[in-house]
Each structure stands twice: as C-alpha cells, then as structure tokens.
Structure 1
Amino acid sequence: MINLIVRLIVSTIVVIAASRVLQGFYVDTTQTAIMVAIVMGLLNTFIKPILLFFSLPITILTLGLFYFVINILIVYLCDYLVDGFSVSSILAALLFSLGLSLAQAIVGIFLD
C-alpha cells in the first residue's frame, strides 16, 4: 500500500513539474494533477497492455518506435478523460510520458 501511495505522489509531482516546464501542457489545480496521476496509472495498467498486444507487429516492424506512439495516445486519452488537463502538442505529450516513465522507473528501483 505504501508503494502505491509513493508512486502516486511521484506521479503527481511529475505532472505538476511538467505543467510548469513544458509548453503545451496545462494542469488546472493540484487536485487535477492528482486525478491525472490516478487516471494515467489506470490507463497504463489496463489499456496500455491491450494496445501493446494488438500493435506488436507494427512495433516490431518499427524496431520499437511505435511504443512512443502508444505512450502519446495514452496521454491524449488522459487529456480527454480529465477536465482541467490539456495537452496541445505531440512533443509535450511525448516528453511528459518519457518523464513519467523515467520517474516511475527510478521509484521502482528504490521501492523494490
């Protein structure tokens, strides 16, 4: 349970930092950032594996580069689902997903 809370806090911090650093990436309030972190966690847990499974041939064909497209789609889906959160450029969505993945990987190293 503590691992989940730590990951949620780190994700929220990454969302807030991204909204201040990246142009084209906007988060309304801290509560919205928490909601974005929760929704991103749920989408990465349930939807992303399904997308990865069905896009496996094209991912192999592009030598893994299509994985970035899936990450961008997940961010845009989160943008659609959460009010007060908007992403207006593909580059901002890509950089956010990479930053979130990097932060979660670092947290995973320390928690495991």
Structure 2
Amino acid sequence: MSYLLRTIVTAASFWVAAWILPGMSLTADTGTPDTGESIIALLLVSVVFGLINGVIRPIVSLLSLPITCLTLGLFTLVINAAMLSLTVWVTSFLPVHVTIDSFFWTTILAALIIALVSTIGNRLIASVAPIND
C-alpha cells in the first residue's frame, strides 16, 4: 500500500512540474493524451522513475560521493537531474512519455520541483496515515 501511495505522490509531482515548466510536457504517440490517458501515463512514468531511483541512483550516488562532499551536497541536484533525464530517455520507448526541451536548466528545475513536491506529499501522507511497511 505504501508503494502505491508513493507512486501516486510521484505522479502528482511530475504533473506539477509539467504544469509549472513550459519546457516539460507529457506526450503520446497518438497526440496529446486525454485525462484518463494522462493519469495512467503519469503513473507509468512515476513507476519508471521509481525503478531508476531504486536501482541506478544508489550506484551513481556512491561513485559521486567525493564530488558531493566537495560541493557540500549540491551535486545531489545534478544527480537528480541525471536520473530525470534517464527517465525521459527510457520513457521515450513507451507509447506515452515525458519530454523535456534541450535546455539544461529545465531539467534541473524539473528535478527540484519533483523532489520538493514528492517530499512534501510523502510527509503529509506519513503524518495523516502512518504506514507500516
């Protein structure tokens, strides 16, 4: 149950980032998805994002530990942007995918928005209904 709630929060954070940033959008092979397709697509993208963050991010974080310490943790934002870029690339092979323009700062801002909204949403859910994993 907790994985499902975290997936929904991550999907909501992707929606907020796509709503705020003009360079980030949700597209489909058949055109712009309708509301039902958008919800399913956001859930699918959040599952892919969760898998990438669960498998690849720990390895990247461990390998980049010296530069993360050197920058006092600011390099974590670059790691978040890299994981988001990897998610965009992986979802490009799916029928519904997230697109981000080529501007580097759009990816950085999207990663920051997704991290903030996910953190706030997960904290709110944990404070309202504590979940035992």
| Length-normalised TM-score, structure 1 | 0.83
Which residue of 2 is the match for residue 95 of structure 1? 113
Query: For residues 15 and 103 of structure 1, do their structure 2 counterparts lie closer, same or farther at Cα, with a shift above 3 Å needed?
Result: same
- How far off its partner does 1:106 sit? 4.0
CA RMSD of aligned residues (A): 1.9
- How far off its partner does 1:11 sit? 1.4
Instruction: Map 1:1-112 onto structure 2 (within 5 A).
Output: 2-28=1-27, 29-83=38-92, 84-88=97-101, 89-90=106-107, 91-109=109-127, 110-112=129-131
**Structure 1 residue ranges without an equivalent (≥5):** none
Query: For residues 46 and 102 of structure 1, do their structure 2 counterparts lie closer, same or farther at Cα, with a shift above 3 Å needed?
Result: farther
Query: For residues 56 and 106 of structure 1, do their structure 2 counterparts lie closer, same or farther at Cα, with a shift above 3 Å needed?
Result: farther
Q: Which amino acid aligns with 2:25?
A: Y
Q: Which amino acid aligns with 1:54?
A: L
Q: Which amino acid aligns with 1:94?
A: L
Report sequence identity in percent.
31
Q: Which amino acid aligns with 1:111?
A: P
| Length-normalised TM-score, structure 2 | 0.72
Higher-helix-fraction structure: 1
Conserved? CA contact 1:76–1:93, under 8 Å: no
Say which is worse superposed, 20-29 or 67-76, in terms of deviation: 20-29
- How far off its partner does 1:12 sit? 1.5
Query: For residues 73 and 94 of structure 1, do their structure 2 counterparts lie closer, same or farther at Cα, with a shift above 3 Å needed?
Result: same
Is the partner of 1:23 in helix, strand or coil? coil
Conserved? CA contact 1:24–1:92, under 8 Å: no
- Dislocated runs of 4+, deviation >4 Å: none
